[in-house]
Amino acid sequence: MQQQLSVITLGIADLARSRRFYCEGFGWTQVFANEEIAFYQMNGFVLGTWLTKGLEGDMQRSGLARPGAFALAHNVATAGDVQKVLDRLAQFGGRILRPADAPLHGGMRGYIADPDDHAWEIAWNPAWPISPEGYVRFAPAG
Protein backbone atom coordinates (compact mmCIF):
# COMPACT_ATOMS: atom_id res chain seq x y z
CA MET A 1 0.00 0.00 0.00
CA GLN A 2 1.07 3.56 -0.68
CA GLN A 3 3.09 4.91 2.26
CA GLN A 4 0.63 7.72 2.67
CA LEU A 5 -1.46 9.36 5.38
CA SER A 6 -4.37 11.44 4.10
CA VAL A 7 -5.84 13.19 7.14
CA ILE A 8 -5.12 13.84 10.79
CA THR A 9 -8.32 14.71 12.63
CA LEU A 10 -8.17 16.26 16.08
CA GLY A 11 -11.18 16.17 18.39
CA ILE A 12 -11.99 19.67 19.63
CA ALA A 13 -14.54 21.27 21.96
CA ASP A 14 -14.92 24.73 20.44
CA LEU A 15 -14.36 25.67 16.81
CA ALA A 16 -13.68 29.35 17.41
CA ARG A 17 -11.16 28.65 20.16
CA SER A 18 -9.33 26.12 18.01
CA ARG A 19 -9.43 28.41 14.98
CA ARG A 20 -7.80 31.18 17.01
CA PHE A 21 -4.84 28.93 17.86
CA TYR A 22 -4.31 27.61 14.34
CA CYS A 23 -5.31 30.62 12.22
CA GLU A 24 -4.08 33.46 14.42
CA GLY A 25 -1.33 31.66 16.35
CA PHE A 26 0.24 29.60 13.58
CA GLY A 27 -1.15 31.96 10.94
CA TRP A 28 -2.61 29.11 8.91
CA THR A 29 -5.69 29.33 6.70
CA GLN A 30 -8.67 27.00 6.62
CA VAL A 31 -9.68 25.45 3.32
CA PHE A 32 -13.15 24.52 4.59
CA ALA A 33 -15.23 25.11 7.71
CA ASN A 34 -18.79 24.52 8.80
CA GLU A 35 -20.49 24.38 12.22
CA GLU A 36 -18.73 21.21 13.31
CA ILE A 37 -15.53 20.70 11.33
CA ALA A 38 -12.69 22.69 9.79
CA PHE A 39 -9.94 21.54 7.41
CA TYR A 40 -6.44 22.89 6.79
CA GLN A 41 -4.51 21.94 3.65
CA MET A 42 -1.10 20.88 4.90
CA ASN A 43 2.12 19.65 3.28
CA GLY A 44 0.81 16.63 1.42
CA PHE A 45 -2.16 15.82 3.63
CA VAL A 46 -5.13 17.47 5.37
CA LEU A 47 -5.46 18.48 9.03
CA GLY A 48 -9.01 18.36 10.36
CA THR A 49 -10.47 19.72 13.58
CA TRP A 50 -13.85 18.20 14.42
CA LEU A 51 -16.12 18.52 17.42
CA THR A 52 -15.26 15.45 19.48
CA LYS A 53 -18.84 14.16 19.49
CA GLY A 54 -18.81 14.09 15.69
CA LEU A 55 -15.49 12.26 15.60
CA GLU A 56 -16.69 9.76 18.21
CA GLY A 57 -19.88 9.17 16.23
CA ASP A 58 -17.99 8.59 13.00
CA MET A 59 -15.52 6.28 14.73
CA GLN A 60 -18.34 4.53 16.63
CA ARG A 61 -16.29 4.86 19.75
CA SER A 62 -16.99 6.99 22.79
CA GLY A 63 -14.77 8.03 25.68
CA LEU A 64 -11.92 9.57 23.72
CA ALA A 65 -9.41 10.68 26.35
CA ARG A 66 -6.96 13.54 26.83
CA PRO A 67 -4.14 14.05 26.64
CA GLY A 68 -3.72 11.38 23.97
CA ALA A 69 -0.52 9.37 23.56
CA PHE A 70 0.77 11.29 20.57
CA ALA A 71 2.50 14.49 19.56
CA LEU A 72 2.48 16.58 16.43
CA ALA A 73 5.56 18.59 15.46
CA HIS A 74 6.16 21.76 13.53
CA ASN A 75 9.80 22.27 12.58
CA VAL A 76 11.17 25.78 12.23
CA ALA A 77 14.15 27.25 10.44
CA THR A 78 16.36 28.43 13.30
CA ALA A 79 17.05 27.55 16.94
CA GLY A 80 15.83 30.97 18.00
CA ASP A 81 12.47 30.47 16.35
CA VAL A 82 11.51 27.67 18.74
CA GLN A 83 10.82 29.79 21.82
CA LYS A 84 9.41 32.59 19.67
CA VAL A 85 6.80 30.28 18.18
CA LEU A 86 5.98 28.79 21.58
CA ASP A 87 5.47 32.28 23.00
CA ARG A 88 3.30 33.31 20.08
CA LEU A 89 1.10 30.21 20.31
CA ALA A 90 0.74 30.78 24.06
CA GLN A 91 -0.80 34.16 23.24
CA PHE A 92 -3.48 32.44 21.17
CA GLY A 93 -4.73 29.80 23.56
CA GLY A 94 -1.77 27.43 23.83
CA ARG A 95 -0.22 26.25 27.09
CA ILE A 96 3.51 25.65 27.17
CA LEU A 97 4.41 22.14 28.38
CA ARG A 98 8.18 22.44 27.97
CA PRO A 99 10.06 25.63 27.14
CA ALA A 100 12.70 25.48 24.42
CA ASP A 101 15.89 23.64 25.25
CA ALA A 102 18.51 21.61 23.39
CA PRO A 103 18.10 17.82 23.39
CA LEU A 104 21.18 15.59 23.67
CA HIS A 105 20.89 14.52 20.03
CA GLY A 106 21.11 18.13 18.82
CA GLY A 107 18.75 20.82 17.62
CA MET A 108 16.27 22.65 19.83
CA ARG A 109 12.71 21.87 20.92
CA GLY A 110 9.83 22.71 23.20
CA TYR A 111 6.24 21.53 23.58
CA ILE A 112 2.93 23.36 23.77
CA ALA A 113 -0.63 22.07 24.17
CA ASP A 114 -3.29 23.45 21.86
CA PRO A 115 -6.57 24.64 23.45
CA ASP A 116 -7.87 21.03 23.31
CA ASP A 117 -4.75 19.65 25.02
CA HIS A 118 -3.21 18.19 21.88
CA ALA A 119 0.58 18.44 22.13
CA TRP A 120 2.70 20.19 19.51
CA GLU A 121 6.45 19.98 19.53
CA ILE A 122 8.09 23.07 18.06
CA ALA A 123 11.52 21.99 16.90
CA TRP A 124 14.60 23.10 15.07
CA ASN A 125 16.18 20.07 13.45
CA PRO A 126 18.93 21.17 11.08
CA ALA A 127 19.38 17.62 9.75
CA TRP A 128 15.88 17.29 8.27
CA PRO A 129 15.34 19.31 5.08
CA ILE A 130 12.07 21.15 4.46
CA SER A 131 11.24 22.04 0.86
CA PRO A 132 9.72 25.38 -0.14
CA GLU A 133 6.37 23.55 -0.37
CA GLY A 134 6.77 22.37 3.22
CA TYR A 135 7.64 18.74 2.49
CA VAL A 136 9.78 17.36 5.30
CA ARG A 137 12.31 14.56 4.88
CA PHE A 138 13.89 12.35 7.49
CA ALA A 139 17.68 12.39 7.62
CA PRO A 140 20.04 10.88 10.19
CA ALA A 141 21.29 13.34 12.83
CA GLY A 142 24.59 14.90 11.85
Q: How far is the CB of 56 from a second copy (least distance, A)?
A: 8
**β-strand partners of 51:** 12
- Do residues 6 and 51 touch, judged by C-beta distance below 8 A? no
Provide the binding-site residues for a second copy, judged by CB under 8 A: 1-11, 26-29, 31-32, 39-47, 52, 55, 58-61, 63-76, 85, 97-98, 103, 109, 111, 116, 118-119, 121, 123, 125, 128, 130, 133-138, 140
For residues 16 and 77, which CB has a smaller minimum distance to a second copy in the complex?
Answer: 77
Spatial separation of the C-alpha atoms in residues 33 and 28, rounded to whole Å: 13
For residues 16 and 138, which CB has a smaller minimum distance to a second copy in the complex?
Answer: 138
Spatial separation of the C-alpha atoms in residues 79 and 127, rounded to whole Å: 12
